[in-house]
Amino acid sequence: MVSELSFASIGLVNPKSPENVGSVLRAAGCYGASSIFYTGERYYRASRYVTDTKKMHTRIPTLGVDDLRDVLPEGATPVAIELVRSAKPLPAFEHPKKAFYIFGPEDGSIDKRLVNWCQEVVYIPTQGCMNLAATVNVVLYDRLCKQAIANPYADFWSEEALLS
């Protein structure tokens, strides 16, 4: 759910494949993310493959940037989703009301300086690696579930909630 009180924005570090970027856009639409920022050239090259089947890029601002630190949404807490020793497991993580989730590429990691800049670092406990799109879906779904538990009577799917 997107509102003045709560929002989620997504930062992608040089996303690898057009299929995953399309799936990230779909997840952003499904879970109400307010914007997507990305670094690197691969998304731009992949965008011509039309993997965004729901055309979320027309509803959710999707912008290429040189450095994700330069586009931190006002009042947002930067949260790196990365497998590092000091990271918190997602099931125990309390999502900030205003979050800027940063995801690394499938074929690499988030730069250490960017991870250190983030106020929170979270990992998803799995037995193997997940792809970018699956990781974004899991994080945003976890956020939605925890919001629903905290406010069980909220209508997350009303017309007003979806358009806010």
pLDDT, tens digit (0-9, with 9 covering 90-100), for 36-52 = 999 987 766 655 555 55
Q: How confident is the model at residue 158 (pLDDT cuts 50, 70, 90)?
A: low
Please say if the pLDDT value at position 59 is more than 50: yes
Please say if the pLDDT value at position 138 is more than 50: yes
Please check whether residue 132 is in contact with residue 101, taking contact to mean a CB–CB distance below 8 angstroms: no
pTM: 0.86
Instruction: Tell me what pLDDT residue 101 has.
Output: 98
Q: How confident is the model at residue 162 (pLDDT cuts 50, 70, 90)?
A: very low
68-97 average pLDDT score: 96
CA angle 78, 33, 46 (to 5 degrees): 95
Higher-confidence residue: 106 or 1? 106
Q: How confident is the model at residue 3 (pLDDT cuts 50, 70, 90)?
A: very low
Please say if the pLDDT value at position 2 is more than 50: no
Tens digits of residue pLDDT in 89-112: 999 999 999 999 999 998 899 999
CA distance 161 to 163: 6
Instruction: Tell me what pLDDT residue 164 has.
Output: 40
The secondary structure of 113-131, three-state, reads HHHHHCCEEEECCCCCCCC
